[in-house]
Chains A and B, each alone.
Chain A
Amino acid sequence: MVVQRLLPTEEAQELLGLVRDIAARELMPQAAAAEEAERFPREVFRTLGEAGLLSLPYPEEFGGGSQPAEVYLQVLEELGAAWSSVAVGVSVHALSCFPLVHFGSDTQRKTWLPDMLSGDTLGAYCLSEAHAGSDPAAMRTRAVRHGDGYLIRGAKAWTTHAGQADFYTVMARTSDDPRRGVSCFLVPADAAGLTAAPPEHKMGLTGSTTATMHFDDVHVAADRMIGEEGQGLAIAFAALDSGRLGIAAVATGLAQAALDLAASYANEREAFGKRLIEHEGLAFLLADMAVETETARAVYLSAARLKDAGLPYGREASIAKLVATDNAMSVTTNAVQVLGGAGYTRDFPAERYMREAKVMQIFEGTNQIQRLLISRQLTR
C-alpha cells in the first residue's frame, strides 16, 4: 500500500517517488535472497548513493541534500519497508557522519565531508564494547597521545558495516575522567592496525554485516579528532538522539511491510468459506496492527518536526524509538499469526520481518535504556 504522506515541498514528493521506485526495482526483488545468503549488498548502497539518498539530511554545500528530518526519515521509512538491513545501513551511515557535520571544524568538514557525503563511501560508528553496551562510559578502548597524533588500542563491538565501511567514527578514552574522558575520532578504513573480526551470526538483519572492530595501535593524526578532547560522550549521545529517529522510521517501515503482507494475505486466503479478513478475530488483529503502525509514524514525525524547528527533541526521540520498535515487534509477530503456518515458513517474509524487528528493540539504546532516559527527564 502506498502510504499517504504529508510532505513540505514538491521536491520532497518527487524524492519519495524516486525512493519508492528504487525500492520496488532494486531492493524488494533481492532482499529475501540476500538475507538468506547473509550477503551484504554493497552495490545497493552504490545505487542509493548515486541517487543522492545517502546524504539527504546534511548540508548541500558539502554534497548533501539539505532535507529536513521530516523528509529524510520518511525516505528511511520507505527503505525500511522494502529492506530493513539496507535502511538500517543508511541510518548508520548518517549516524557516522553526524559528529563531523555538527562538531567538526570548518577545515575538517571541508576536508572530509564531501567524500563522506558523495554517496561513494559508507561509514560505520564505533561506540559499544563487549562489556559496555548500555553504559558506554565504561568503555576501555584508549586513544593515547603519540607524536603528532594518537594511538588507538581496544575493540569495538557490534559495529554495523564492520570491514565494509570506508570510514569509522570512533569513541575512545583519552583520560580516566568519568564524564569528560572520551573523545571522538574519524578513522579511515585503511588505517594500519584496524581489522574486522569475523561477522556475528545474527537472528535477523543478516544482510547487514555486524562485527567487532579491533584497534591494534591504530595511529590517527591529531586533526582527526572531532570536537574537543573529552567531548566524545556528549557527541555520541547527540548522534544517538538523531540516530534513534532513524531507527524509529526504519521500524515503522518494517511494520508497514508486515501489515501490508498480512492484509493482502487475509484478503485472499479463505477459511470456513470466507476470507480471513471477514473473520472478526483476524480483522480486529489487523486493525490493531494498522493502529500500531500509524501511531509509530505519528510519533517519529512529531519528534522530527521538533528537531527541524531547532527545539530539544531527545526525549521525543527516545519515545519514538521505543514506540516504533515495540510496535514493529508486535505488528511483525501478529503478521506471522495472520499467515498461520505459512507465516512460520521461510517461503513468506513474515518470519523474517519478526526476526528483524527484535534487534530494533535492542540497538541504538535498548528500550529499557529509552525508558531510563525518558524517566530521567521526569525526575526533578
Chain B
Amino acid sequence: MNIVVLVKYVPDAQFDRHLTGDPATVDRSESILSELDEYAIESALQLAEERGGPKAGNRVIALTMGPAAAATAVKKALQIGATEGLHVNDDALAGSDATGTSLVLAAAIRSLGDVDLVLTGMASTDGETSLVPAQLAERLRLPQLTFAASLELDGTTVRARRDGDTHADSLEAELPALVSVTDQINEPRYPNFKGIIAAKKKSVATVTLADLGIQAAEVGTAGAWTAVRTAEARPPRSQGTIITDEGDAGIRLVDFLAAQNLL
C-alpha cells in the first residue's frame, strides 16, 4: 500500500522559542521535525510493517512543504523508516496559511498517483491550528478520521478511536482515507544508526509550484485567507497575589476568585 505522511519542519520546542524581525515572526533558526508528526510516521511504519514492509511493495512517503531547510524533516522521516520523500519548495510559499498549505499538499498528493492513506499529526507544534488535515481531506475528497488515538486497518477498512472528555467515538472509513493521529496513539521509535546510513540512499523528489500547476498568487502571503496583524512575545508572568492566613484567608480567597469572575 501507499501511505503519505505529512512532516513539518518547526522550531524546536526544547529551545526557547521566540519572535524575531519586523514584522515579528517566529525564529525558525533552530528547527526540527515536528514531534507530533513522529506519531504519524510511527503509525505509517507499523501499518507498512504489518503488511510485509517495503519488500512487499509498501511505500511510506514523507511529504513536506517549506524552504530548503525543511528537507531536514524529510530526512529525519527517512532515517526513522519512511521509504521516500517529496519536498515542495518554492519561494512563493512564504507566508502561506493553512488554506494555502492544504491547497499545495493536496496537489502534491495527487501528483503521487495511487495513495491509499494520508497520515498526519494532530497539529503542528508551531501553528497548532489543526486545520490542514481537515482541509486536505476536503480537497482530496477523502473521508477524514481526525484525532485518532488508535488506528487499525482491516482489509480496506480503516478504524480509529477518538477520545473525548465524556465519551469515545469509534470511526470507520473505507480507503483511501485521511487520518490525523494524537500523541496517545503509539510510542514513536528513534531512528537507528543503520537507518541513518540507509536514508542517504533513499530518494527525495523536490518540486515547485509550477510542477504542481499552482499559481503563486494562490498561496503565500498574497493568497492567504488569514493574516497575522501583529505578534508579540507573551509578557513575563506577574508574581500574583499571596494571601497570608491571619484567620481570614478563606474569605479573602473567595473574594479574590469572585473579583476575577471565577466564582
Interface on A for B, CB 8 Å cutoff? Answer: 11, 14-15, 18, 21-22, 24, 47, 50-53, 56, 65
- Residue B25, interface by CB 8 Å: no
Among B14, B194, B200, which residue has its beta carbon within 8 angstroms of that of A24? Answer: B14
**Of residues 15 to 61 in B, which have CB atoms within 8 Å of A's CB atoms?**
none
- B191 contact set on A, CB distance < 8 A: 18, 51
Chain A to chain B contacts (Cβ below 8 Å), 23 pairs: A11-B193, A11-B197, A11-B200, A14-B196, A15-B193, A15-B196, A18-B190, A18-B191, A18-B196, A21-B190, A22-B190, A24-B14, A47-B190, A50-B189, A50-B190, A50-B192, A51-B190, A51-B191, A51-B192, A52-B194, A53-B193, A56-B193, A65-B194
- Is A52 in contact with B14, judged by CB distance below 8 angstroms? no
Q: Which residue of A lies closest to B79 (CB)?
A: A14
> What is the minimal beta-carbon distance from A43 to any residue of chain B, in angstroms?
11
Q: Are A52 and B79 in contact (CB under 8 A)?
A: no
Chain A residue nearest to B189 in the complex (CB): A50
Q: When the two chains form their complex, are residues B189 and A52 in contact, meaning their CB atoms are under 8 A apart?
A: no
Within 8 A of A (CB), among B172-208: 189-194, 196-197, 200
Q: State how many residues of chain B have any CB contact under 8 Å with chain A.
A: 11
A264 to B200, CA, bound (A): 38
Binding site for A on B (CB under 8 A): 14, 79, 189-194, 196-197, 200
What is the total of A-B residue contacts with beta carbons within 8 Å? Answer: 30
Q: Which residues of A contact B197 (CB under 8 A)?
A: 11
Give, as a whole number of angstroms, the nearest-CB distance from B1 to chain A: 25
> Given the complex, which residues of B lie within 8 Å of A52, measured CB to CB?
192-194
Shortest CB distance A22–B (Å): 6
Could you tell me the distance between the alpha carbons of A51 and B196 in the complex, rounded to whole angstroms? 10
A22 to B79 Cα, complex, angstroms: 14
Min CB distance A364 to B, Å, is 25
- Top 6 closest pairs, chain A to chain B, by CB: A52-B193, A52-B192, A51-B192, A14-B196, A51-B190, A65-B193
Q: How far is the CB of B122 from chain A (nearest CB, A)?
A: 19
Collect the chain B residues with CB atoms within 8 Å of residue A22's CB: 190
Shortest beta-carbon distance from A362 to chain B in Å: 32
Determine how close the nearest CB of chain B comes to the CB of A229; give it in whole angstroms: 37
Task: Give the complex CA separation of A15 and B199 in angstroms.
Answer: 12
- What residue in chain B is nearest A64 (Cβ atoms)? B193
A47–B187 Cα distance when bound, in Å, is: 12
Q: Which residues of the other chain, A, contact B194 by a CB distance below 8 angstroms?
A: 52, 65
Interface centre among B189, B194, B196, B200 (most CB of A within 10 A): B196
CA distance A11 to B193 in the complex (A): 8
With both chains docked as a complex, state the minimum distance between the C-beta of B74 and any C-beta of chain A, in angstroms.
14
> What is the distance, in angstroms, from B76's C-beta to the closest C-beta of chain A?
9
Distance, CA A52 to CA B200, complexed state (A): 17
Chain A hits for B190, CB < 8 A: 18, 21-22, 47, 50-51
The 8 Å CB contact of A18, one of B14, B193, B200, is B193
CB-nearest residue of chain B to A24: B14
Determine the chain B residues whose CB is within 8 A of the CB of A21 once the complex forms. 190
Q: How far is the CA of A135 from the CA of B14 in the complex (A)?
A: 48
Which residues does chain A contribute within 8 Å of B189, judged by CB atoms?
Answer: 50
